[in-house]
Amino acid sequence: MSQATQIEQRTTENISSPEAHTAPPALEVSGISKSFTHRRRETNVLNNVSLKVEQQEFVSIVGPSGCGKSTLFHMIGGLVKPDAGTIRMNGKVVTGQRGEISYMPQQPALFPWRTIEDNVLLAGEIKGALQDGAREEARQWLAKVGLNGFEQAYPHMLSGGMQQRAAFLRALLAPQELMLLDEPFSALDALTRSEMQRWLLELWEENRRSVLFITHNIEEALLLSNRIYVFSGRPGSILHTVDVPFPRPRRDEITDSPEFLKLKRQLSQWMREEQAKSEK
Amino acid sequence: MRSTWKLIWPPLVAVVFFLTVWQLSISLFHIESWILPSPADIARESTSNASGLWAHTMATLRLTLIGFPIGTGVGLIVALLLHLLPWARRAFYPLIILSQNVPSIALGPLLIIWFGFGLLPKIVLITLVCFFPVAVAAMGGLSQSDQVMMNYMKMAGASKWQIFTKLELPSSIPALFSGVKISATYAVMGAVVAEWIGADKGIGYYMLLQKSAYRTDRMFVAIVIIVLLSLVLFAIIALLEKWLVRWKPRRNS
């Protein structure tokens, strides 16, 4: 895509939404493509992906496995350079730059030799922005998420759900504004998972942050998000964009509403179709 | 307490069984004591000559305690340099492996020609045997950090130095310790070999003396002392590891 058309798109956006004047999107991915070469065979992983996370918006990506969602995250995090396209955060081009986002991986990946408290403070420590009150703040947060008494414990002493909460706190207390959550609940059992979803919903509605969330779970995406991007199978591209209409604060009951079920059915059907295509 | 006992008794029984078989077969097959002394003979000999043995043991222990930290330190420095400078790793790693194919006993005479009969050639010899297990273990540990944690550090914008100090170094410590434990036993062996080559005291020197006198029982006393020295050093390192790596989940829990 040429520079001119991108600029044109941005100007039309500016006219259409009055908010865009005051604050540029927290994340704007435009025209990203990426291929990997392995043993002389080129695999196209992502094809012309454009998406957006406005300030204080919760946005999800759903799609079949292997659709390049994790590669997209690695690109936003600056680990991998895209072949084409740009990544902007708060209006600034940050393509290939590291240290701009706060990240929560699939596995909690807490550092086993650090206490829970030190793990939670890690991102701030890396940025060199550990203020005097940071430790106190971390302790208050740990208490708030039900981890009081575990401040000085090592990660292996905690259950899976508790570890995941600590990993989430590590991302939340990072100095970066935008949070990338990569299937954070996929390793948990169903009961813990739904508990964690409700926990995250409540926490996010209290402390709005810009979030980009990867998940396989459609219900989870509908419950949490303002907007959902449905990805196609490989090469990944955006098939559908769904704006989730439910007002906030959301309660668990919305999962039983006819509108919710209708959206869920629609999304499931799209996912099934894509899964079937990629299996052929 | 009961679980410790459970851990200790199988090797204890095995050792007692081994010593009994040894003692019995000597009296059963009438083996001359200058060929193979019985455990009882060895025990008797070690108590009758305790003060002389003590001086020799202290000399060897002193040599070990000087050489082992230096060897471990050199191994650590080599590992850090080769880890932080990938081109140096490519250039020198094969050379380091090659150096281990030269038997330490063959280097001894050369070291004496170069450095005389003092402390220096012995320390050099111990360093040469000690640094290798530490260097290899540390390098392996440093390069095998968890990939997810590595990605996390990079995405969070960690510098190379931060990745090294906050991720690679701490995650290499368990691997490092397995190298240090091996090199602790090598250090005792290195000290004894160094004393064979040129010394006027120490367990190695004592062994040479007893060899020329055909005192097999005293040779065995020397072996027992060497084994005990190695074990004590090993146990101290293992305790240090337990304390330093207390964040690691216990395997049997």
Q: Considering only A9-13, A112-116, A166-170, B59-63, which range has the smallest mean pLDDT?
A: A9-13
Mutate which: B155, B159, B173, B246, vs A, most A CBs within 10 A: B155
pLDDT at residue B248, rounded to an integer: 78
Q: In which region does residue A99 sit, left (phi positive, over 0), alpha (psi from -120 to 50) or beta (all else)?
A: left
Distances (CA, A) of B143 to A98, A188, B171: 21, 30, 9
The strand pair at A102-104 and A41-53 is best described as unpaired
Q: Residue type at A138?
A: A
pLDDT at residue A1, rounded to an integer: 42
- Angle at the Cα of A226 (from A224 to A228), degrees rounded to 5? 85
What is the crossing angle of helices B203-212 and B216-244, to 10°? 160
DSSP string, B102-133: S-HHHHHHHHHHHHTTSHHHHHHHHHHHHHHH
Is A126 within 8 Å of B171 when comparing Cβ atoms?
A: no
pLDDT at residue A15, rounded to an integer: 43
Cβ neighbours of A17 (radius 10 Å): 10
SS3 label, residue A265: helix
Q: In which region does residue B38 sit, left (phi positive, over 0), alpha (psi from -120 to 50) or beta (all else)?
A: beta
Strands in A41-53's sheet, in edge-to-edge order, are A41-53, A27-38, A84-89, A92-93
Among chain A, residues having any CB pair with chain B shorter than 8 Å are: 74, 77-79, 98-103, 105-107, 109, 111-114, 122-123, 125-127, 154, 156, 174, 180
Per-residue DSSP letter, A241: E
How many CB contacts within 8 angstroms connect chain A with chain B? Answer: 67
Q: Is the peptide bond before A155 cis (omega within 30 degrees of 0)?
A: no
How far A236 CA sits from the closest chain B CA (Å)? 22
**How many angstroms separate the CA atoms of B23 and B21, rounded?**
6
Measured between beta carbons, which residues in chain A are less than 8 angstroms from residue B165?
A: none
Q: Under a CB-based contact definition with an 8 Å cutoff, are residues A63 and A231 in contact?
A: yes
Among chain B, residues having any CB pair with chain A shorter than 8 Å are: 146, 148-149, 151-158, 162, 166-167, 170-171, 173, 245-249
How far B148 CA sits from the closest chain A CA (Å)? 6
**Which contacts (CB < 8 Å, 24+ apart) does range B74-77 have?**
B74/B127, B74/B130, B74/B131, B74/B135, B75/B130, B75/B131, B75/B132, B75/B133, B75/B134, B75/B135, B75/B138, B75/B179, B75/B183, B76/B134, B76/B135, B76/B138, B76/B176
Q: Is the dihedral of CA B63, B65, B66, B71 positive or negative?
A: positive
**How many angstroms separate the CA atoms of B92 and B99, rounded?**
11
Q: Under a CB-based contact definition with an 8 Å cutoff, are residues A60 and A221 in contact?
A: yes
**How many angstroms separate the CA atoms of B186 and B129, rounded?**
6
The mean pLDDT of chain A is: 82
pTM of the model as a whole: 0.79
**How many angstroms separate the CA atoms of B78 and B136, rounded?**
9
**How many angstroms separate the CA atoms of A42 and A50, rounded?**
22
Q: What is the mean pLDDT of residues A129-145?
A: 80
Strand partners, A186: none
Is A126 within 8 Å of B248 when comparing Cβ atoms?
A: no
Measured between beta carbons, which residues in chain A are less than 8 angstroms from residue B156?
A: 98-99, 102-103, 122-123, 126-127, 174
Mutate which: A126, A127, A170, A172, vs B, most B CBs within 10 A: A126
**How many angstroms separate the CA atoms of B59 and B240, rounded?**
24
For chain A, give the percent of residues with pLDDT over 70.
Answer: 91
Residue stretches of chain B with pLDDT short of 50 = 252-253
Q: What is the dihedral of CA A85, A89, A95, A101, to 10 degrees?
A: -130
Runs of H (alpha helix) within A3-42: 3-16, 19-22
Strands in A210-215's sheet, in edge-to-edge order, are A102-104, A178-182, A210-215, A58-62, A227-231, A238-243
Measured between beta carbons, which residues in chain B are less than 8 angstroms from residue A98?
A: 154-157
Residue A12 confidence (pLDDT) above 70: no
Q: What is the pLDDT of residues A32-67, one digit of tens each?
A: 888 888 878 888 888 888 898 888 899 999 988 777
How far B65 CA sits from the closest chain A CA (Å)? 29
Q: What is the pLDDT of residues A74-102, one digit of tens each?
A: 899 888 888 888 898 888 888 888 888 89
Q: Under a CB-based contact definition with an 8 Å cutoff, are residues A243 and A226 in contact?
A: yes
* Distinct helix (H) and strand (E) counts, chain B: 11, 0
End-to-end CA distance of chain B: 16
Measured between beta carbons, which residues in chain B are less than 8 angstroms from residue A102?
A: 156
For the purposes of burial, counting CB atoms within 10 Å of the CB of A31, is it exposed (0-12), middle (13-18) or buried (19 or more)?
Answer: middle
Q: What is the mean pLDDT of residues A272-276?
A: 83
What is the crossing angle of helices B169-197 and B203-212, to 10°? 40
Residue A9 confidence (pLDDT) above 80: no
Residue A280 confidence (pLDDT) above 90: no
Q: What is the pLDDT of residues A183-237, one digit of tens each?
A: 888 877 888 888 888 888 888 888 888 899 998 888 888 888 989 999 888 788 8
Cβ neighbours of B182 (radius 10 Å): 18
Is A109 within 8 Å of B148 when comparing Cβ atoms?
A: yes
